[in-house]
Structure 1
Amino acid sequence: MYGDSKTKIQKIFEKSTKNKHIYESVLLIENYSGDFSYQLGYGGKNTDTPFLMASITKLFTSTCILILREQGKLSLDDKIAKYFEEDTLSSLHIYKGQEYSKDLTLSHLLFHTSGLPDAIEEGSNKARRRAIYKDRQISIDETIMKTKQLKPHFAPDIGKRAHYANINFDLLRKIIEIVTDSTLEDVYKQFIFDPLGLKNTYLPIEEDDFVPNVYYKDTSFYLPNSIRSISASGGCISTARELMIFIKAFFGGRLFNKTVFHELEMDNKLQIAMSPIHYGAGYMKISLGGLVTLFMGKGELLGHLGSTGSFAFYYPASDLFFVGDVNQMAKPALPVRLVMRLAMSIKS
Structure 2
Amino acid sequence: MKNTSLNRRKFVKDTLAGAAGIAGLTTLPLDLLAAPNKIIVSEESTTSGEVRPSLPPKIKFAVIGLNHGHIYSQVEAVIRGGGQLISFYAKEDDLAAAFTKKYPQVKKARSEKEILEDKAIQLVVSASIPDERAPLGVRVMRHGKDFMVDKPGITSLEQLAEVRRVQKETKRIYSIMYSERLENKATVKAGELVKAGAIGKVIQTIGLGPHRMNPKTRPDWFFDRQRFGGIICDIASHQFDQYLYFTGSTQADVVAAQVGNVNHPQYPKFEDFGDAMLRGNKGMGYIRVDWFTPDGLKTWGDGRLTILGTEGFIEIRKNIDIGGREGGNHLFLTDQKEMRYVDCSKEPLPYGEQLVNDIVNRTETAMTQEHCFLATELALKAQQQAKSISI
Q: Same fold (TM over 0.5)?
A: no
In the superposition, the TM-score normalised over structure 1's length comes to 0.29
Q: Select the structure of larger CA radius of gyration.
A: 2
In the superposition, the TM-score normalised over structure 2's length comes to 0.27
